[in-house]
Amino acid sequence: MDEIAAAIGIDPVELRHRNFLHVGDTNATEQLMREPVILDQLLDRALKESDYHARRAQFARENPASAVKRGMGIAAFYHGSGFTGSGEVYLNSLAGIDVTRAGKVRVLVSNTEFGQGTNTILTQIAAEALGIGYADVAMAAPDTDVVPNSGPTVASRTSMVIGRIIERACSQLLALLREHAGLGATFTPDEFFAACERYRAVRGEVVSLCRYEAPPGIFWDDQRYHGEAYGAYAWAVYVAQIAVDTVTYSAEVENFWAVQEVGRVIHPVLAAGQIEGGIAQGVGFALYEKVVWQDGRMANNQMTNYIMPTAEDVPPIHVVFEEIPFQFGGFGAKGLGELPHDGPAPAILNAIRDATGVAFNSIPLLPEDLYAGFAAAQPAEETVVR
Amino acid sequence: MSTNAGATSNKRWPTIRFNVNGEARRVKVPPMKRLLDVLREDLHLTGTKEGCGEGECGSCSVRLNGELVNSCLIPVMQAEGADIQTVEGLALDGKLHPLQEAFLCHGGAQCGICTPGMLMAAAQLLELNQHPAMPEIREALAGNLCRCTGFIRIFESVAAAVDAQSAGPATKLTTEQTHDAR
């Protein structure tokens, strides 16, 4: 994007504003944007949060007299939530809840907690949808002898797709309890569990499962790879501030701003942790993590020579969420797990270009890669790297 | 260690004595067995995790005679007579250590593999410096890799534990054990 902007003499910010998708536009698969698209707003917020224009002006003043060149780079991007195309339809996920005799609601999903917060979020969703306490809900172990097949734990799908199924299964259970067990319009948790026991006495196990339902109007052509590629997209604008040391050829991310719209944020602490973690991986992707292949094997398969970001390498990361609840996601959620991996590398490369005038189109950029790039670029007089 | 396997050679293994979390322990194991494996396999203290197994990631960090060490790089014979503290030694009488409390509240843990090592590195920092600034927190944790969190929430957790400590002497961030009263 910044190469195009430079070639036609337009400011990178202006180029993006002119070309952003909006509601009513179609994307590369000719999917009509029906849900809100607020890229302009995200970009403006990211520029404001990062003080982008003032910092760029400052670096333009300071860089000529400094061996350390600083620059600012932008990446604007989106990431589809859930499986692509017909994926979620083929998965046909089944998920739900049951109620144990010990008076606990159990969430029945095959989606597995590995630190991303799935257990917390699905528990929150079930408790909220049923109108009972968080402590009244537990997660069943994701053992296929116990839980139905709600698909794999991938594709930024759990909060949006599975969360929505759990929400529906909870509403379905409340309707059953009202119809068959005299549950009132309002109730306490004790009254809820008493109704569950009356239901069990008459109708057997207290269980409510639902299948995935695609948002209406979704059509995907598997043959032509055309149509509604995703039910929803998460949108983001990231800004990186970079310092390139022209003596050592090392690049350091000094500051990072991440503004995104991911639907409703179900748990702000966990969501920010996902974004920050993804950005740290993105920093590694852009600057450190070079896989060296030798005879079909990774030659540097040790942490001594495959370098990932440490506590000293991650920049301060400023995370901002704009929230637009997505009506077909669990309590308005869209996916956010993969989103933060997309933006850091382009933002960092654009910032390196801004700092040095040299454009790179490959990653990662270790010092030797930066050296080779600068040597090959033979930059114009005003962007000479000293 | 195959030459040491079996009951016969077992008799030739030395008895190694040390204190773990304030309790006197003895093990009869191959002397080159890694402290990490002795803690996990022989003493069943599985809080300490193996990450890389080559001293790069800090996941297996424990405190040994007041120093933070990678337990994957310590042959157990080197621990003879030592005072060792593992993550199991942080909580006292079922009450979480202020660092653990802070990690819980501030999202300091995701998958959890690095967490015991991070806690021990942070405990070591606070033992040496009760009021670390952010650059000191970053430096102290730089030997402990985390792939999930991006470190930010870990820094915030440590900073929050420091603040909790400043708020009242009741939550003094000591890692000294009271178990040895037993």
**pLDDT at residue number B181:** 33
Asked if A193 contacts A98 with a C-beta cutoff of 8 angstroms, the reply is no
Model-level pTM?
0.93
Kindly state the average pLDDT of the residues A49-70.
98
Would you say residue A14 lies in a domain? yes
Residue B168 has pLDDT above 80, yes or no: no
For the ranges A73-87, A164-178, B157-171, the lowest mean pLDDT is seen at: B157-171
Residue A206 is part of which domain span? 93-211
Q: What is the CATH number of the domain that holds A182?
A: 3.30.365.10
Residue with tokens 């909790």: B164
H/E run at residue A214? none
- Which of B54, B146, B152 best tests the A interface by mutation, with the highest count of A CBs <10 A? B152
**Which of the residue ranges A80-94, B123-137, B142-156, B160-174 would you say has the lowest mean pLDDT?**
B160-174
> Do residues A79 and A103 share a domain?
no
Q: With respect to residue A293, please indicate whether it lies within any of the assigned structural domains.
A: yes
Please list the residue range(s) of chain B that carry CATH number 3.10.20.30.
12-89
B176: pLDDT confidence band, cut at 50, 70 and 90? very low
Does the beta carbon of B147 lie under 8 angstroms from any beta carbon of chain A?
A: yes
Q: Chain B, 42-61: which have a CB under 8 Å from a chain A CB? A: 52, 54, 56-57
pLDDT at B180 over 80: no
Rounded Cα distance between A268 and B110, Å, is 14
Q: Which of A211, A246, A274 is the last residue of a domain?
A: A211
pLDDT computed for residue A385 by the predictor: 52
Question: ipTM value of the model?
Answer: 0.94
| Confidence check: pLDDT of B174 > 50 | no
Asked if A311's CB is within 8 angstroms of B142's CB, the reply is yes
The reply to whether A100 and A75 lie within a common domain is no
Q: Is residue A305 part of a domain?
A: yes
Residue A193, pLDDT > 60, answer yes
The pLDDT value recorded for residue A115 is 95
State pLDDT tens for residues A84-111: 999 999 999 999 999 999 999 999 999 9
Question: Is residue A378 pLDDT above 90, yes or no?
Answer: no
**Domain boundary residue among A211, A244, A272?**
A211
The CATH class for the domain spanning B12-89 reads alpha beta
Question: Do both A179 and A280 map to the same domain?
Answer: no
Whole-number Å distance between alpha carbons of B37 and A386: 51
**Number of domains making up chain A:** 2
Determine phi and psi for B152, rounding to 5 degrees.
-60, -45
* Chain A residues with beta carbon closer than 8 angstroms to that of B138: 311-312
Contact A278 B150 (CB under 8 A): yes
Q: CA A373 to CA A352: how far, in whole Å?
A: 11
Interface test with B, best of A120, A254, A303 (most B CBs within 10 A): A303
Residue A222 lies in a domain: no
d(Cα B112, Cα B51) in Å, to the nearest integer? 11
Looking at the domain assignment, is residue A221 inside a domain? no
- pLDDT attached to residue B177: 40
Q: Is residue A218, in this structure, part of any structural domain at all?
A: no
CATH label, B98-171, candidates 3.40.50.360, 1.10.1660.10, 1.10.150.120, 1.10.357.10: 1.10.150.120
Cβ–Cβ gap B110/A272 under 8 Å: no
B103 touches chain A (CB under 8 A): no
Encode pLDDT of A115-171 as tens digits: 999 999 999 999 999 999 999 999 999 999 999 999 999 999 999 999 999 999 999
Q: pLDDT per residue over B5-41, tens digit each?
A: 444 457 899 999 999 999 999 999 999 999 999 999 9
- Contacting residues of B for A308, CB less than 8 Å apart: 145, 147
Q: Burial-class residue A105 by CB neighbours within 10 Å (0-12, 13-18, 19+).
A: buried
3-state SS track over B65-81: CCEEEEHHHCEHHHHCC
Q: Is A227 helix (H, G, I), strand (E, B) or coil?
A: strand
Burial A164-176 (b: 16+ CB within 10 A, else e): bbbbbbbebbbeb
Q: Which of B138, B148, B157 to mutate to test the interface with A (most CBs of A within 10 A)?
A: B148
Q: Which residues pair with A240 in a beta bridge?
A: A73, A256
